[in-house]
Amino acid sequence: MQDEVNNKTIALAIKGGKVTAETLEKALKKLLQEIEKSKQTHSQPKIYRGKQSVKHLVQQNTAINNIEITDGNIKAFQRTANKYGIDYALKKDTSEQPPKYLVFFKGKDIDILTQAFKEFTANRVQRDKKPSIRKTLAKHIEAVKTQHREKTRDKDKSRGAER
């Protein structure tokens, strides 16, 4: 009786092992199929956003336009372009002195770019209208220095008169 129970237990363990091996084999085959499928979908080129190279911009198969900006406006333009989500590429033109920068962008972004430039120029004009803080500070420093000189002269005069 004991031998019969042991044989049935061993037979059940072997069958369970076979089922586990078959299940493992099926799972591995399914995993390999998923990996191959993901490789096929990832073969498409990565789409870059924001600032990128001219090469990556051209690879997106859209019409490309360009504009010219000066060296002093690059950082301000980059902030505005990032705010509006414009895909662009900067290229430095060193053939001229001072060097100029060409901004390449997608043709479909031209409306967004005009709006971004309107905001950019409005901010620039508004900033130019405001007085320079450094200049006003320098004026106030000079005024304080002249007042200080006058006070020291007055003190000297009054002390001399008392003696």
Span 132-161, pLDDT tens digits: 888 899 999 998 888 877 766 666 555 555
Residues 27 and 93 in one domain: no
C-alpha–C-alpha distance, residues 127 and 138, integer Å: 19
Helices (H), 42-61: 54-58
Mean pLDDT of 19-25: 76
163 and 110 within one domain: no
- In angstroms, rounded to a whole number, what is the distance separating the alpha carbons of residues 113 and 86? 7
Shared domain for 101 and 117, answered yes or no, is yes
Mean predicted lDDT score pLDDT of the chain:
79
Overall domain count for the chain:
3
| Residue at 49 is within a domain | no
125 and 139 share one domain: no
pLDDT band of residue 163 (cuts 50, 70, 90) is: very low
- What per-residue confidence (pLDDT) applies to 7? 78
Same domain, residue pair 68 and 99: yes
Q: Given pLDDT bands bounded at 50, 70 and 90, which one contains residue 42?
A: low
Q: Which domain holds residue 22?
A: 1-44
